[in-house]
Each structure stands twice: as C-alpha cells, then as structure tokens.
Homo-oligomer: A and B are copies of this chain.
Amino acid sequence: MQAAPPALEEDIMSESWLNKVNWTHDGLVPVIAQETGTGKVLMFAWMDREALRLTAETGQAVYWSRSRKKLWRKGEESGHVQKVHNIRLDCDEDVILLTVEQLGGIACHTGRHTCFFQKLQDNQWVTDEPVLKNPEEIYRHE
C-alpha cells in the first residue's frame, strides 16, 4: 500500500478531530457559548462541520443558521464577534462547549449581554437583564 502524499496525509490528520464529533442526521452539533471570566452562558446555537472547522481555524465563532440555512459568522453585521478561547466536547461527543470573549459585551440579538435573560419566578418568566443597545442600532443593514 502506497503512502498518501505528505500534503494529503497532513490534511487528513488535521481534520480527523472533526470526525470524532457525532453529528446529527442533519449534520449539525449543538453548541453552548460561555463567556470567559464571568462564566456566563451567553447563547446556544448549532454548527455544521464547516462552521466548526472555521471556528477552530479562525478563532472566531462561526455557527450554522438553521433558519437562514447558511453559515453565520457571529458578529459579521453587529461587530459582536466571539473570540474563541477553548473548544470542548462532551462525553457523548455530540455537544460542543465554547469559551469565548464576547466583543461589545452583547451576545443576544435583543441587545442584551446574554440570551438567557428570562428567569422563572412564581410560575412566570421574568426578564432580569437590561437591553444594552437598541437592536435597530446593532443591525443597520437588516
């Protein structure tokens, strides 16, 4: 058996970590983004193989938008880029945990720090995070 050409071999090697992920039938993996320092859980989204590859390669979070059915480079419109510190995988190898630095301090499309701004209190969802910036000012092109 012939050895693969060095370049190809290296290519296969460098992407083998992506094969360890148990992708859903749709080729996706759920992703939790947690803020470094504060430890706050900022958001939850999905990635496909290309999004995860790009996230690792560029050091900036790239997700798969299930509604728009395309890659979603977080912050491409808002400037609220997530600089990735760590990428983790769980025991079943089907969930990713990112540790990120949230540029602009706003992860949520509502203009809040985190997407998890509703807390259950006495059988009601109570909002306890302020809007830091008007969404209309965040998304000028939409």
Contacts and interface: CB of A to CB of B under 8 A. Distances in A.
Interface of A: 13-17, 20, 30, 32, 34, 38-41, 43-44, 56, 86-93, 95, 97, 108-110, 112, 115-120, 123-125
A74 to B, nearest CB: 14
A41 B39 CA distance: 9
25 contacts: A13-B123, A17-B123, A30-B30, A30-B44, A32-B32, A34-B39, A39-B39, A44-B95, A86-B119, A87-B119, A88-B116, A88-B117, A88-B119, A88-B120, A89-B116, A89-B118, A89-B120, A89-B125, A90-B116, A91-B109, A91-B110, A91-B112, A91-B115, A91-B117, A97-B116
Contacts of A15: 123
A44 B119 contact: no
Given A90-B116, A91-B117, 18 more contacts: A15-B123, A17-B120, A17-B123, A17-B125, A20-B125, A32-B41, A56-B123, A86-B119, A87-B119, A88-B116, A89-B116, A89-B125, A90-B118, A91-B112, A92-B115, A95-B115, A95-B116, A97-B116
